[in-house]
Amino acid sequence: MQDIVIGYAGKYGTTKELSKRLEAELRAIATQSADQRREIDILRLPVRELSVEHIHDARVVVLGGPIYAGRLPRVLRKFCERNRTALLSRDIGLFISCLYQDQQARDQLVQAFPQWLFDHAIASANLGGRVKLDELKSIDRLLVKRFGKIDQDLDRIDDRRISSFAGELYSVLKRELG
């Protein structure tokens, strides 16, 4: 059985990067934890490669996705709906990657995942976002510039939030392990 399964989505790599940093932080917390008797098992995959067996085989499931025009990618929304029963049987952590901040970001976090999943989650966070205009497809660059009013590269990845989100997840895992 895996201790934690992390599934992520996203077109431009920031959410994947956040999932990597989250995994590293979880491993660091586990190593520092005085009562830790073994390394924690973490499986980290794009959500399109995750199956219902992965959910059943996990103590804690973490799902993360970027916000594009207010929504999570379809692949992640579909994954949640398809696996509703399995997800409701597990401890769940949810995160988003986005560029908005403060109240706008909090609103996006609440609205991004289905209500039933958000209500069930034991932790949720906006871990921040990043945009490199040169790397965007031209239609996406246009949207970001016009509607997001962004005209330069931005890096709003929030390492402190990654740490505290990892801390919350780890304390739930520790309770599970007894």
Ligand X SMILES: Cc1cc2nc3c(=O)[nH]c(=O)nc-3n(C[C@H](O)[C@H](O)[C@H](O)COP(=O)(O)O)c2cc1C
| Residue number, 66 or 173, with CB nearest to ligand X | 66
Q: How far apart are CA 39 and CA 30, in angstroms?
A: 7
Q: Which residues bind ligand X (CB under 6 A)?
A: 10-15, 66-70, 97-100, 108, 129-131, 136, 140, 143-144, 148
| Residue number, 85 or 103, with CB nearest to ligand X | 103
Alpha helices in 4-155 (DSSP H): 14-32, 52-56, 74-82, 84-88, 102-112, 115-120, 138-147
Q: Report residue 21: phi and psi, to 5°.
A: -65, -35
Beta bridge partners of 95: 64, 125
Residue type, 17: E
| Residue number, 9 or 92, with CB nearest to ligand X | 9
| Residue number, 83 or 126, with CB nearest to ligand X | 126
Q: Which residue is nearest to ligand X (CB)?
A: 10
State the nearest-atom distance from the C-beta of 46 to ligand X, in Å.
11
State the nearest-atom distance from the C-beta of 156 to ligand X, in Å.
8
Please list the helix, strand and coil fractions of the chain in percent, rounded to the nearest 5, in that order: 50, 20, 30
| Residue number, 95 or 100, with CB nearest to ligand X | 100
Q: Say which DSSP state 13 is in.
A: S
Six token digits for residue 7: 């599934």
State the nearest-atom distance from the C-beta of 31 to ligand X, in Å.
27
Contact 83, 89 (CB under 8 A): no
State the nearest-atom distance from the C-beta of 124 to ligand X, in Å.
15
State the nearest-atom distance from the C-beta of 157 to ligand X, in Å.
8
